[in-house]
Structure 1
């Protein structure tokens, strides 16, 4: 079989003359495709009908004059065209809704008066009446117990500064019990006590600042004598 000597070299398949176009398409079944391939009438790399218009297969060619399987398509792919310029940036989208601000729940209270605290062995709560910024936290009349307004994960911190060193224990109480990580219990006399901790708190819980471990009186420094802060993180 000589593909180059067929009546139309681009229609390199055999069909009866009285077949309609629809019949031609169905006539070119798998067996015929295999036969044409074996005879070298199909391009081995792209499957297009051979010979190609310019002779050599699989190079950039124009559209095939007649290709019943792929009408008006090239027998082989051409080279990629040049990239176009990047289009302009589209307009900015609408701003999304504001997310929750968890740090809306926070508090700070201090004792800046240079107060004298009568400490007992079982523990004495330090009043914090100064510079109160309580947000939604509630405080009792003695300014010693603060009630948590919202359940969450909180960062707690405190500082106690005395006018003279003493061997004491300091801690934050949660519902009347010491938070272990907040306990400072030095073995020598010191005048400064501080700690930070992150804990889960439930609405209605109470927190307090306490000194214990001594039967006697200590004097807080003026200004930053004692303070307690709470900030909800989550």
Structure 2
């Protein structure tokens, strides 16, 4: 118990020190870096995953291939992927590529499953009122698949925020800089502080998606989405 309180005290002392809130190594600057890495990667992954998931879910074609590729991408270690690409191109590109590869699968799979799982009777009813194929997708399938789609986006966002710490390994910034530097110098206060910041950011992302779900998902579908 004493060790726990000591760690809490170390973390609080580090977080509240005025020196941590100024300069290039300060928390605000590292936060912006972390958000930039995470935001760009998540946006690219969301665009790719949503586009493919909606397409194969709506048409019913290529679903097996898309899911298989997504599962293969899940099996690739993000850290290992970064190291491989860094050898070729020592820039921020490897980090972004690895984070996108990490985030695409949950978005793609959940979008595909959400659209594919829409009640066929609802699709038939939409076609019966004169909707075209794309009209059925945007006005019937997509709204009904939103709970699963948002779950995939939420999972991807949290994974990206947590894994963006690896950007510090090849020499870039973000909250991972505190963890990598702390481990290199045996400064465990720095390690604990950086870890807490990453956890807090992930929790904020979780809360944002919880609020977004209540805002955009039809009340009639919220009950079925509570388990997510």
**Fold-level similarity (TM above 0.5):** no
TM-score using structure 2 length: 0.17
Q: Greater strand share, 1 or 2? A: 1
Q: Which structure carries more relative contact order (alpha carbon 8 Å, separation 6+)? A: 2
TM-score normalised by structure 1 residue count: 0.17
| Greater C-alpha radius of gyration | 1
Of Structure 1 and Structure 2, the greater helix share is in 2
